[in-house]
Amino acid sequence: MNYFQLFQLPEKFDLDLTELGSRYLRLQKQFHPDQHAAGSERDKLLAVQHTANINDAYHSLKQPLLRAEHLLALRGLKISQEQRSFTDPAFLMQQMELREQLADIEHSDDADAVIVNIGQLLQQQKKQLQQQLATALDAVSHEQDQLAAELIRKLKFFYKLEQELELIEQQLQD
């Protein structure tokens, strides 16, 4: 299923999330099972299935990484469930250093400052990679799609590190 077509949106990485939300609400209202309560069992089942598809599509398009993966899948490159290791030594070294910094937070004299600094670094890296991802996906070529897939893999690391940082921050506050 093409989620962009479902919401009648252009197939591109940069989306107007407000417009996506408006279209989601319209579709939800149109296909909500309560609207089909008087219909046949088949109509009720179709409404439930369509509502589930709308929810899945909205969730995927709202999240940048899922949106990018969906774009690539529409182009024949499925990476959502893959487990691939990196061969970029600089990226791997950066990830190891960031993980060490996360591990050292609790032993820091000023854990709050370290958390803020790491958080800013992660945000900066994510923003830079997302800009590169948008450019690669806009190009619509096999080479750029491969680059986009690599950028998605890298972004997943930063999202995971960000979650770990939030967990550490919560643990230190408790």
Q: What pLDDT digit, counting tens, does each position of 144-165 carry?
A: 999 999 999 999 999 999 999 9
Percent over 70 (pLDDT), the chain: 97
Angle between helical axes of 64-74 and 41-62 (0-180°, round to 10): 110
pLDDT value at 81 more than 90? no
As separate numbers, helices (DSSP H) first and strands (DSSP E) second, the chain gives: 7, 0
Per CATH, the number for 3-62 is 1.10.287.110
pLDDT, residue 27, reads 94
pLDDT, residue 158, reads 95
SS3 (DSSP) at 84: coil
Q: 89-173 has which fold?
A: Monooxygenase (1.20.1280)
Assess contact for 70 and 13: CB atoms under 8 A.
no
Cα–Cα distances (Å) from 155 to 77, 123, 150, 151, 174, in that order, read: 17, 11, 9, 6, 29
Full-model pTM: 0.85
SS3 (DSSP) at 49: helix
pLDDT value at 104 more than 90? yes
Assess contact for 80 and 100: CB atoms under 8 A.
no
Q: What pLDDT digit, counting tens, does each position of 18-65 carry?
A: 999 999 999 999 888 777 777 788 878 888 899 999 999 999 999 999
Residue spans of the domains in the chain: they are 3-62, 89-173
pLDDT value at 84 more than 80? no
Cα–Cα distances (Å) from 41 to 47, 48, 52, 68, 131, in that order, read: 10, 11, 17, 36, 47
pLDDT, residue 85, reads 66
Mean pLDDT throughout 6-14?
A: 95
pLDDT value at 110 more than 80? yes
| Residue 72 banded pLDDT, cuts 50, 70, 90 | very high
pLDDT, residue 46, reads 87
* Residue found by looking up tokens 């990018």 in the block: 68
Q: If you average pLDDT over every residue of the chain, what do you get?
A: 92
